[in-house]
Structure 1
Amino acid sequence: MKLPGLLPGFLLLCTSLGSSEGSHPKPACRYPPSQWCRSLEIAIACNVQKQCMELNATRPSRAVPPVSVTLYYEILCPGCRGFISQQLFPTWTMLQDIMTVTLVPYGNAKELPSVNSPFTCQHGEPECRGNMIEACIIHLTGHSAFQIIYCMESAANVLNAAQPCLQLYAPSVSWARVSSCVTGDLGNQLMHANAVMTRALSPTHTHVPWVTFYGEYTEDNEDKAMSSLFSLVCQLYKGVKPPACNGAPVRLNRSFC
């Protein structure tokens, strides 16, 4: 499912209302630093209006479209987990102003004509459940979804990490809502949508992680993404490169399922 609109780190213009009392957030701030400039209300609550204004002044022009990255994956695939934790999330953390990320948890699963067990997964029933949990989290938590998914995928046990990661990054969304989504019709609908998106890939995916840029897949871009996604995003962006793009690339080993 696509992380709706807010995932690419869209920092709303924060207008200073009154004077800022230092650079440190007030104790009442209940938001992680990654969310401080998400809205004017959060910026005021965390006493960072001035910093948000300065950050917005240095952001790339929205006249140039961001690099669109879509990841097709399954939650228990070691290669997918490594790509999310070592490549995709760190790259997004540094370059979220010039890239958007869409996560599609499904991978090598199969959709079956069965009411009781509509999906089968490469790594068994726990992966099918985990795929649905992440699909529900993406649907319910909006701009916090990617942080939650990263928290889960980088943990020792992906499924056991789901609830504490949700509480950490989206405390306003109860675990009961996620459980209701997973056990109800909504979870199946979300997974069916992911199945449709995955089956519609051209060329058909042969492994995961499967990464597309602007909706298209090429082996060349895959090779570059698996070794240094950061460098590839900087290369693909057509606007003025952000300062972070001047750093040296770090190449990592690739792994597939």
Structure 2
Amino acid sequence: MKLSGLVAVLLLLCAARRNSGISHPKPSCRYPPSQWCRSLEIAIACKVQKQCMEVNATRPNQSVPPVSVTLYYESLCPACRAFISQQLFPTWTMLQDIMTVTLVPYGNAKELPSANSPFTCQHGEPECRGNMIEACIIHLTGHSAFQIIYCMESSADVLSAARPCLQLYSPSTSWSSVDSCVKRGSGNQLMHANAAMTRALSPAHTHVPWVTFNGEYTEENEDKAMSSLFHLVCQLYKGVKPPACNGATVRLNRGFC
């Protein structure tokens, strides 16, 4: 489910509980709130189908392609962590209906002709491990990956936060599956693919964070992204701007008891 939708759902549920004066238990479903509106079946199981329908009614025209934002980064790079936590994730939280985010953890790493240690990283071995953990999480969790990566990158200790962040945002994904990915070869394959994507950049990247929009990099867009990614995404979107871009309020047709 999209985070903006999640906020709306939670506000609706809280309002209903306050107005009724009755304390209701949480929906008896095995899905976290972030996935309540992911499908009709989940919405029904969690008893939030009405709220999810209202959230869906405010989404932009899906025939207009979203703005594609790709971030090439390193897991322990301070500038990358700041961009993810202060620009990219907050912008996605508000504008995820009109943008997609692709994360490529690799950055300034290098591939080596060594079976035991095939990568070397700018911030040492811990960063190589962090890059691979995040690559495995992206591969294994899909829809929830960005929330997990944000949770890790905004934490005091990126590596120590990996397991609890995974459990929080993707409880159905076991830590053992991530650990197996890192230790048994799959992680190396994912990192090789990220290395190939990074090397294929044109122009070649000279630093991280390196951000492309709809597959293209320009210094002008980079400058705008570093100062206000939110406004840049609104500017680049070709469809009717969502209310968040215009600063307008939307009143949902909701009932009260």
Task: Normalising by structure 1, report the TM-score.
Answer: 0.86
Match of 1:53 in 2: 53
Tell me the distance in 1 between the aligned counterparts of 2:142 and 2:25.
24
Q: Percent identity?
A: 85
Deviations 1:196-215 (A, max 9, x none): 00000000000000000000
How far did 1:45 drift?
2.2
Q: Secondary structure at the match of 1:63?
A: coil
Q: Distance in 2 between matches of 1:165 and 1:27?
A: 22
**Higher share of residues assigned helix:** 2
Instruction: Kindly indicate whether the alpha-carbon contact (under 8 Å) linking 2:34 and 2:169 is maintained by their aligned counterparts in 1.
Output: no
Name stretches of at least 5 consecutive residues in structure 1 with no aligned partner.
Answer: 1-5, 12-21, 249-257
When residues 151 and 50 of structure 1 are mapped into structure 2, their CA distance, relative to the original with a 3 A threshold, is same
Paired residues, what number? 232
What letter matches 1:58 in structure 2?
T
* Whole-Å separation in 1 of the counterparts to 2:98 and 2:33: 19
1:130-188 deviation digits (Å, cap 9, x = unpaired): 00000000000010100000000000000000000001111111110000000011100
Distance, in Å, in 1 between the alignment partners of 2:234 and 2:70 is: 16
Aligned equivalent of 1:178: 178
Bigger radius of gyration among the two: 2
For residues 80-119 of structure 1, what are the structure 2 equivalents within 5 Å? 80-119=80-119
RMSD: 1.9
Task: Assess if the C-alpha contact under 8 Å between 1:75 and 1:105 holds in 2.
Answer: yes
Q: Secondary structure at the match of 1:212?
A: strand
2:25 & 2:56 partners in 1: Cα distance? 18
| Structure 1 residue 123 displacement after superposition | 0.1
**Kept after mapping to 2: 8 A contact 1:70/1:212:** yes
**Partner Cα separation in structure 2 for residue 10 and residue 140 of structure 1:** 23
Q: Which amino acid aligns with 2:197?
A: M
Q: Which residue of 1 aligns with 2:136?
A: 136
Does structure 1 retain, via aligned residues, the 8 Å contact 2:75–2:153?
Answer: yes
CA distance in structure 2 between the partners assigned to 1:88 and 1:33 by the alignment: 21
1:216 aligned counterpart, secondary structure: coil
The letter of the residue matching 1:89 is F
Write the deviation string for residues 11-63 of structure 1: whole angstroms up to 9, x where unpaired: 8xxxxxxxxxx677744234443322111122112211011111111111111
Partner in structure 1 of residue 215 of structure 2: 215
Letter in 2 for 1:218: T
Report matched runs for 1:1-257 at 5 Å.
26-247=26-247
Contact (CA 8 Å) 2:106, 2:131: kept in 1 or not? yes
The answer as to whether partners of 2:4 and 2:94 remain within 8 angstroms in 1 is: no
